[in-house]
Amino acid sequence: MTWSATARGAHQPDNTAFTQQRLPAWQPLLSASIALPLFFCAGLAFIGLGLGLFYSSNGIKELEYDYTGNPGTGNCSVCALADQGRAPPIRCSCAWYFSLPELFPGPVYLYYELTNFYQNNRRYGVSRDDSQLSGLPSALRHPANECAPYQRRATGLPIAPCGAIANSLFNDTFSLWHQRRPGEPYVEVPLERTGIAWWTDCHVKFRNPPLVNGSLALAFRGTAPPPNWHRPVYELSPDPNNTGFINQDFVVWMRTAALPTFRKLYARIRQGNYSAGLPRGAYRVNITYNYPVRAFGGHKRIVFSNISWMGGKNPFLGIAYLVVGSLCILMGFVMLVVYIRYQDQNDEEEDEE
Amino acid sequence: MSLFERQGGEQERYLQANNRKLNTMFGYPLIPQISSLAWYTTVIPLMVVLSITAVKDAIDDMERHQNDNQVNNRSVMVLMNGRIKEDKWMNIQVGDILKLRNNQPVTADILLLSSSEPYSLTYIETAELDGETNLKVKHALPVTSNLEDNLELLSAFDGKVTCESPNNKLDKFTGILTYKGKNYILDHEKLLLRGCIIRNTDWCFGLVIYTGPDTKLMQNCGKTTFKRTHLDHLLNILVVWIFLFLGGMCFILAIGHGIWENKKGYYFQNYLPWKEYVPSSAVSAIPIFWSYFIILNTMVPISLYVSVEIIRLGNSCYINWDRKMFYAPHNSPAHARTTTLNEELGQVKYVFSDKTGTLTQNIMVFNKCSINGIVYGRVYDKKGMKVEVPEETEKVDFSYNKLADPKFSFYDETLVEAVKKGDHWVHLFFLSLSLCHTVMSEEKVEGNLVYQAQSPDEGALVTAARNFGFVFHYRTSETIAVVEMGETKVYQLLAILDFSNVRKRMSVIVRTPENRVMLFCKGADTILCQLLHPSCISLRDVTMEHLDDFAIEGLRTLMVAYRELDNSFFQAWSKKHNEACLSLENREDKISNVYEEIEKDLMLLGATAIEDKLQDGVPETVATLNKAQIKMWILTGDKQETAMNIAYACNIFEEEMDGIFIVEGKNDEVVLQELRSARDKMKPESLLESDPINIYLTTKPQMLRIPEEVPNGNYGLIINGYSLAYALEGNLELELLRTACMCKGVIWCRMTPLQKAQVVELVKRYKKVVTLAIGDGANDVSMIKAAHIGVGIHGQEGTQAMLNSDYAFSQFRYLQRLLLVHGRWSYNRMCKFLSYFFYKNFAFTLVHFWYAFFNGFSAQTVYDTWFITFYNLVYTSLPVLGLSLFDQDVNETWSLHFPELYKPGQHNLYFNKKEFVKCLVHGIYSSFVLFFIPMGTIYNSVRIDGKDISDYQSFSLIVQTSLLFVVTMQIALETTYWTMINHIFTWGSLIFYFCILFFLYSDDLCLMFPSVFQYLGVARNTLILPQMWLSIVLSMVLCILPVIGYQFLKPLFWPVNVDKIMDRIHYWMNPPVLPPTQTKLKHASSHRHSAYAFSHVWGFGALITSGKTLNAKRPSAKVRRSQQKEAIDLLSNG
């Protein structure tokens, strides 16, 4: 370390704001004049928002029916008894009758709701092959290992679509019938079964494998449907734009739920006379009862609902906003009182000094 | 083979240990049965962390390697087979004969054989070795210097060297050269050490003795213990805590899983069959434990250690860049040599300071003298009163003397008049000063003399003599030429009786041109008084009075005396002296006995007084550090009086102190008595058995920590080194420490380097606080290494201290900036960083815990795996780095103005176990909010178009977006100093998150790798929904407002001192005004403690008396030959 050899000041550090830690800066302070108004303003804003949310959520109509069929809960219990076995249940039908005293304003959406169903279980959630579902021919015949034990059939045929999610596809079906006046025959209400999945899912993410000779069935040759399915994937719907991997029921099911209780859209009612909603009258929902849930204590529900500007019925946000808003204001008052008291004390101390 | 190799090993080992831990942690995900995360989730962060570490290490290594290479590949001339060949340094082996040229560095430790200069003298500069810039001279044995540059003779040289094993003593070497059947003694005067540079010598030949790591330079580098900060230790403990917490959580979740599988999973097998190897729910719980261990391991952030290193590196750079710590006269900026200790700079409680060269400049100025009972050098004002030297006083005009040094200033005309008048005593006095020394002179330009002095005291004295007309001109082997009032006189030099710390005096014996044999002696007054001739008792008394006056002014004093010798007496003595010099056993004892025979019956000439200047700003710095409750102890090898003087001068002791205790007992009972009585006065109740600390000490005898004790006033303590030795031997450690710690200032004088380290260790062991040692000399190295933080000062005493220090700068006053500004900032930043870092990872990780209760404890993650991969690395790393590199709660002016702001660091208030628990609780709360608010929001909720959005991927997206908003708001709240960079980092990271999000969730990427990127379209579908944003706002408010409330109420409910100061600062800052100016400290002017001192070690005496001189170009060839012969005879006889 000899410094004598170099010119004076040669090693002097640069005089920049950065090296000298003098960068211009904004130094905000948490003073009472900021903190207290912040609490009050936030509180008021939250209460306002909360009221809006609460009322709009309350304005939404919902009609719900549990058709699980626990003994003594309606005519689905017959079917439910049949579902005790583990094997794919036999077809069974039941119905739910309800009447609307006034118009159920539309558009009306028909959901099915499952409870106690752990679509979010990790082993369940990973049991799928997105490559296969995106229509890659190689993946179609070589399902990913995650799909096990629904990767291949005992015969060695690859399963398409593979995995536990696809295998457990919800397969109850509903049809809605309307009787305008007592004694009149029930008219079937048209249920729109498309447009129920995310556009990105059924148009981008999920794709059928390339057709072979113009036939989807040939494209799926050499694969087997999941064990629980009664028909192959290319026969899910007669509509060629809604069958195979892009069948919307299937796509909706494949978007696994975050919580063990979940609703999935089954159909939209917006055609013909029903575009304004469900007119008053008696209704019957015909249910094909295929899907066993009682084994694991699950419930199946059917739900009619309309929506508002912020989606479906969910009182949570409204209530939470109201509670938080009130807490903010309460907290603001506490802080104000404390601040004034200590301010006085400090002033006194300073006066004494 | 290089100087730069140290530390590396330790550091690497430390990192390796870390990496091993990480590796085991991140090996699990690759086992499929328990892997709950995609492999890249853990591998990518690990790779990034490892590669950053690797790059940092690689850069260090490359630098080291380049240095090594550069050193190893330097070329050097080697004598091989009768020819000179060029070879690389690394090929040099013991026994090679090297040829070195002027200005070349010395390759290895080599035995000087011959050189171009007469008597094979070789001049070297040892700046790299000990920092001294003056030239030193080495000389070869006469028998080898005859070889000159005769290659044949040199090739045929077949001497055999027997020498001691490699050691680190720079100034000791013993060996025997066996050549042509004769033995020659070798000492360090014949050894050129590696690291020296050849100067003023055209060429020299040498025999390689030690190479590479055996060289004294390398041996001296020593083993540097790897210093780690308190925070490092705390972190290690916290990591263990986190692991325990983690284990506990995983255990709970595993049990939960067992129960769930038993109650629900078993019946759900229709849709989700158990794995074939899972016979029961209990068995499946075991892999789940490990799966959760992997998911939750983000609680122990892998990037923590790397981030900490980066922050410390950044804050070290600020120290290097600080212009206010740049010392222009030396052209040296401050240098953070260790980049791992920064935050400890903000926690220092004890400062151990060396005195000489650290508090003082170690620049000596000839200030006053007393000649034959008359004092010169005082300045009187018009009223005849003694005054301090003011700036405007006229300097004495030395124009009559062409050889005078223009830099020398003196203010008393009377002395010049006395010289001009030809006062016999004054002449003799200055003659003795110009003869009795070991200074070397160089006259590069005619009439411009440059003195190379070994100690600054000597330089000052010889320069004074020079200016008053007794110019030491040059010296040869046996003569000293002095220009006496313009007339050159040559004195024959007969002997130099060298200085040593024991003798505290030096003498020369000369034959004057008038053929009189004279002995001139200068030395410490206490010693010299006893050697005086009885006839000058009255003069002695007068001079002693003057000495007392000088001492009061804090001057360093020496007495000067002479003796005229009888020729025959001298001859007899000379013979004894030669015998003593050549004896092999107890040479030093014998020599000093011989010296004592002749140094007696001296005639007193007078005394000199040299001013030892304090460094700039020392008293102010000490006062500032005192205000910051940093205790300053002086540890010096110097005498008690000198040390006390300096202590008063630099405010460690104050005039208005309640008492000063001196411990100088020579056995442990007396020492104990002294310590007890001191404590009795300071805090009588601390001696009672009922004192809580005494009770504490009796109950817990080992691993204790002595709490702070408050005395009833301001006290000072002075402890002598020998008393310390007794205290340590007699197990009075605790007594000593308790007494010392109660005092405001403590001075430890007469300390050996080892004792300095012992004191530091003592405080470290029992007080458990951060210690800092500051010094400039080789004697401070041990304490610099022992203290938590070692600071080296580029000083007069060499660079040894600097080479072993953690921080180095040029002036003591920079210490306050290092501690109060850089240290405080580093500490605050590190604490903020750690609190935030732990918080953000807890908030991030614990969400998984809540989710477990809703997904059957199946080790399902809440987030997208890519989010987990990038969270610590990309999304949150820059904001927290910005915070911890730029944040300042108050600027440097305020930090220095209110040293009280430093206190929280000393008590480690900003990050400790309590703060960690707060982070944990805060993190748990945030994760709770972050899970349940989005959960409530999406529970059975649908979009405006009726499609459901309660799917897992949307939920992930909401939670992770809310999390990022919350942690960003949290850091925005922590940041008190928003530079442009902070804005860019903080808000930029958030924007960057969305960019990455849309990229990762884009159609093209997802379609290209459908199994890796599964979140196609989620961002588009979810982020347009109002309830998502309402949920994010709600989470944010719920997480942030309580923190704001807490920050607002905390200073009101639990005010600490710092808060009040901050309030005042904010009051002044808004609108910005300058702080009230600090009153400048008065220099304590009157010290009533004398200082008799002398500051150097061994002189050049031995060299000069052995028949060699420095500037040998003067004498004629004839003289040269005869002298050579004489010298050879002398040595070969031995």
Give the minimum alpha-carbon distance from A27 to chain B in angstroms, rounded to a whole number: 5
**Collapsed DSSP state (helix, strand, coil) of residue A202:** helix
- Which amino acid would we find at residue B183? N
Residue B639 confidence (pLDDT) above 80:
no
Residue B562 belongs to what domain range? 361-613
Between A30, A167, A307, which is nearest B1044 by CB?
A30
Same domain, B701 and B689: yes
Domain count, chain B: 4
Verify whether the Cβ–Cβ distance B942 to A342 is below 8 Å. no
Query: Helices B877-886 and B952-974 sit at what angle, rounded to 10 degrees?
Result: 0
Partner-chain contact B950 A262, CB within 8 Å: yes
Phi-psi region at A288: left, alpha or beta (left = phi > 0; alpha = psi -120 to 50): beta
A184 in helix, strand or coil?
Answer: coil
Those of residues 37-96 in B touching chain A at CB distance below 8 A are: none
Does one domain contain both B729 and B788?
yes
Same domain? B549 vs B426: yes
Chain center to CA of B816: 14
Lowest-confidence range among B53-67, B107-121, B416-430? B53-67
Q: Using CA atoms, how far apart are residues B99 and B85, in angstroms rounded to an integer?
A: 10
Of A148-157, A260-269, B881-890, B1114-1123, the poorest mean pLDDT is in B1114-1123
Using DSSP, how many helices (H) and how many strands (E) does chain B show?
40, 35
Interface test with chain B among A168, A253, A255, by most B beta carbons within 10 Å: A255
CA distance B1134 to B1126: 13
**Distance between CA B46 and CA B25 in Å, rounded?**
10
Interchain contact, B318 vs A307, CB within 8 Å:
no
Read off the tokens for B751: 């300390």
Q: Domain boundary residue among B1023, B1054, B1085?
A: B1054
Say yes or no to pLDDT of B832 above 70.
yes
Measured from the Cβ of residue B348, the count of other Cβ atoms closer than 10 Å reads 28
Q: Which of A17-26, B381-390, B802-811, B874-883 has the lowest mean pLDDT?
A: B381-390
Which range has the worst mean pLDDT, A17-21, B253-257, B881-885? A17-21
Q: Within its chain, how far is the Cα of B499 from the centroid?
A: 30
Burial (CB < 10 A; 0-12, 13-18, 19+), residue B181, is: exposed
Q: Which of B19-33, B240-254, B686-700 has the lowest mean pLDDT?
A: B19-33
- Residue A258 and residue B267: Cβ atoms within 8 Å? no
**In this structure, is residue B772 part of a structural domain?**
yes
Residue B241 CA to residue B913 CA, distance in Å, equals 10
Which tokens go with B88?
């690389």
Q: What is the CA radius of gyration of chain A?
A: 31
Query: Tokens 């006395």 belong to which residue?
Result: B418
Which helix (DSSP H) or strand (DSSP E) does residue B978 occupy? strand B978-979
Please calculate the CA angle B295-B299-B303 and round it to the nearest 5 degrees. Answer: 105
* B970 Cβ under 8 Å from any chain A Cβ: no
What secondary structure letter does DSSP report for A22? -
Shared domain check, B532 and B496: yes
- Final residue of a structural domain among B1054, B1069, B1097: B1054
Residues of A in contact with B944 (CB under 8 A): 307, 309-311
Please check whether residue B1124 lies inside any domain of the structure.
no
Residues A292, B944: C-beta atoms closer than 8 Å:
no
Reported as a single tens digit per residue, the pLDDT across B857-916 is 988 999 998 899 899 888 999 999 999 999 998 888 888 888 989 999 998 889 999 999
Residue B1130 has pLDDT above 80, yes or no: no
A200–B856: do the CB atoms touch at under 8 Å? Answer: no
B889 marked as part of a ligand binding site: no
Q: Lowest mean pLDDT: which of A233-242, B631-640, B872-881?
A: B631-640
Instruction: Provide the pLDDT for residue B133.
Output: 53
Q: Which residue has the tokens 């209460």?
A: A47
Check if B354 is active-site.
yes
pLDDT band, very low/low/confident/very high, at B798 (cuts 50, 70, 90): low
Residue B887 one-letter amino acid:
D
Q: Are residues B497 and B548 in the same domain?
A: yes
Question: If we measure between CA atoms, which residue out of B7, B791, B921, B934 comes closest to residue B350?
Answer: B791
The reply to whether residue B936 touches residue A320, judged by beta carbons under 8 angstroms, is yes
Give B29's pLDDT tier (boundaries 50, 70, 90): low
Please give the span between the terminal C-alpha atoms of chain B, in angstroms, as a whole number: 38
Q: Is B873 part of any domain? A: yes
CA-to-CA distance for B432 and B422, rounded, in angstroms? 15
Which element (helix H / strand E) includes B294? helix B281-296
Position A90 pLDDT exceeds 70 = no
DSSP-derived letter for residue A91 is P
pLDDT top residue among B692 and B273:
B273
Output the average pLDDT for chain B: 81
Q: How confident is the model at residue B777 (pLDDT cuts 50, 70, 90)?
A: confident
Q: Which residues of chain B neighbour A325 with C-beta distances below 8 Å?
A: none
Residue B961 has pLDDT above 90, yes or no: yes
Report the pLDDT value the prediction gives residue B1030, as an integer from 0 to 100: 92
Of B273, B332, B860, the CB nearest to A11: B332
Q: What is the pLDDT of residue A148?
A: 81
Q: Is B28 on the interface with A (CB under 8 A)?
A: no
Residue B301 in any domain: the answer is: no
State the residue for tokens 């991927």: B953
pLDDT of B1120 > 50? The answer is no
Residues in chain A with CB shorter than 8 Å from the CB of B276 are 149
Q: Both B872 and B816 in a single domain?
A: no
DSSP 3-state assignment of B121? strand
Residue B256 has pLDDT above 90, yes or no: yes
pLDDT for position B1090: 36
User: Smallest Cβ distance to A201: which of B956, B1017, B1030?
Assistant: B1017
Give dist(CA B896, CA B919) in Å, integer: 30
Low-confidence winner among A300-309, B346-355, B441-450, B750-759 (lowest mean pLDDT): B441-450
- Could you tell me if B952 and B964 lie in one domain? yes
My answer on whether B346 and B372 are in the same domain is no
Beta partners for residue A176, in sequence order? A189, A285
Residues of chain A contacting residue B952, judged by C-beta atoms under 8 Å apart: 119-120, 125, 255-258
**Of B186 and B987, more confident:** B987
Q: How many CB pairs under 8 A join A and B?
A: 290
- State the smallest CA–CA distance between residue B1068 and chain A in angstroms: 13
**Closest chain A residue to the Cα of B270, Cα to Cα:** A86
Q: Identify all chain A residues contacting B268, using CB atoms and an 8 Å cutoff.
A: 118, 295-296
- CB B947 to CB A338 under 8 A? no
Pairing type for strands B789-793 and B807-809 reads parallel
Q: Do the domain assignments include residue B260? A: no
- Do residue B868 and residue B792 come from a single domain? no
Domain boundary residue, one of B186, B221, B256? B221
SS (H, E, C) B656-675: CCCEEEEECCCCHHHHHHHH
Average pLDDT score over residue span B82-97: 86
User: How far is Cα of residue B404 from the mean position of the Cα atoms in its chain?
Assistant: 39
CB atoms within 10 A of CB A145: 10
Question: E-strand spans in A290-353?
Answer: 299-305
What is the C-alpha separation between B895 and B828, in angstroms, rounded? 12
Q: What pLDDT is attached to residue B389?
A: 52
By DSSP bridging, strand B335-336 and strand B807-809 are antiparallel
Q: For residues A158 and A155, give the distance between their C-alpha atoms in angstroms, rounded to a whole number.
A: 9
Q: Cβ of B1054 under 8 Å from any chain A Cβ?
A: no
Q: How far apart are CA B648 and CA B645, in angstroms?
A: 5
| pLDDT tens-digit map of B408-420 | 878 888 888 888 8
Residues 6+ apart with CB under 8 A from A68: A76, A80, A293, A294, A298, A299, A300, A301
Q: Which residue has the higher pLDDT, A232 or B1094?
A: A232
The model carries a pTM of: 0.81
What ipTM describes this predicted complex?
0.95
Confirm whether residue B458 is marked as ligand binding.
yes
Q: Which one of B948, B1030, B1049 has the shortest CB-CB distance to A265?
A: B948
Position B44 in a domain: no
CB contact, 8 Å: B677 with chain A?
no
What CATH number has the domain bearing residue B605? 3.40.1110.10
Q: Please, is B345 exposed, middle or buried when counting C-beta atoms within 10 Å of its C-beta (0-12, 13-18, 19+)?
A: buried
Lowest mean pLDDT among B35-39, B331-335, B740-744: B35-39
B953 at A interface, C-beta within 8 A: yes
A262 with B940: Cβ contact below 8 A: yes
> Please, what's the b/e burial string for B1122-1132 (b: 16 or more CB within 10 A of its CB; e: otherwise)?
ebbeebbeebe
Q: From the candidates B354, B405, B549, B864, which is the catalytic residue?
A: B354
Helices B877-886 and B303-321 pack at an angle, to 10 degrees, of 30
CB-nearest partner of B1047 from A30, A139, A268: A30
Identify which of B454-468, B799-813, B886-900 has the greatest average pLDDT: B886-900
Give the residue, B323 or B552, on which the prediction is more confident.
Answer: B323
Higher-pLDDT residue of A124 and A77 is A124
Residue B144 is part of a domain; what is its CATH number? 2.70.150.10
Closest Cα in chain A, distance from residue B196 (Å):
12
Check A19 against B794: CB less than 8 A apart. Answer: no
Please indicate, yes or no, if residue B1062 is contained in any of the structural domains: no
Residue of B nearest to A119 (CA): B855
| Contacts of B265 by beta carbon, 8 Å cutoff, 6+ apart | A118, A121, B272, B274, B281, B284, B856
Q: Give bridge partners of residue B440 from the DSSP assignment.
A: B452
Label residue B2 by pLDDT band (50, 70, 90). very low
Q: What is the DSSP string of B212-242?
A: GGGSHHHHHH--PPPP--HHHHHHHHHHHHH
Residues of chain A found within 8 Å of residue B825, distances taken between Cβ atoms: 21
Distance from CA of B930 to the nearest CA of A (A): 14
Same domain, B624 and B594: no
What pLDDT score was predicted for residue A77? 80
Residues of chain B positioned with their CB less than 8 A from the CB of A107: 946
Picking from A12, A121, A268, the nearest residue to B946 by CB comes out as A268
Top residue of A252, A316, A334, A343 to mutate, by most chain B CBs within 10 Å, is A316
Is B776 annotated as contributing to ligand binding?
yes
pLDDT, tens only, B199-236: 778 888 888 988 888 887 776 654 556 778 888 889 88
Please tell me which residue, B1131 or B789, carries the higher pLDDT value. Answer: B789
Pairing of strands A187-189, A173-179: antiparallel
Question: What is the band of A85 on the pLDDT scale with cuts at 50, 70, 90?
Answer: low
CB atoms within 10 A of CB B994: 13
Phi, psi of B110 (to 5 degrees): -125, 150
The answer to whether B332 contacts chain A (CB < 8 Å) is yes
B560, B493: one domain: yes
Comparing CB atoms, the residue among A10, A125, A311 nearest residue B1027 is: A311
Cross-strand pairs, B770: B348
Residue B77 has a pLDDT of 87
Contacts of residue B1067, defined as CB under 8 A and 6 or more positions apart, other chains included, come to: none
Residue of B nearest to A53 (CA): B1027
> What proportion of chain B, given as a percentage, has pLDDT over 90?
21
Residues of chain B with Cβ-Cβ distance to A339 below 8 Å are: 1048, 1052
Which of B382 and B513 is assigned the larger pLDDT?
B513
State the pairing for strand pair B631-635/B745-749: parallel
Residue ranges with strand state E in A137-184: 173-179
Instruction: Provide the pairing of β-strand B745-749 with B715-720.
Output: parallel
Query: DSSP 3-state assignment of B1031?
Result: helix
How many residues appear in chain A? Answer: 353
Q: Does B859 touch chain A (CB under 8 A)?
A: yes
Query: What ranges do the domains of chain A cover?
Result: 75-103+119-256+282-295
Residue B224 confidence (pLDDT): 57
* DSSP element (H, E) containing B803: helix B800-803
List CB contacts (< 8 A) between B981 and chain A: 23
B696 lies in some domain? yes
Same-domain check for residues B119 and B206: yes
Tell me: cis bond preceding B534? Omega within 30 of 0 counts: no
Q: What is the pLDDT of residue B1036?
A: 94
Q: Which residues in chain A have Cβ-Cβ distances shorter than 8 Å to B976?
A: 27-28
CATH code at B685? 3.40.50.1000
pLDDT at B261 over 60: yes
Range B467-477 average pLDDT: 84
Cα torsion for B1054, B1058, B1064, B1066, to the nearest 10°?
A: -90
The answer to whether B637 is a known ligand-binding residue is yes
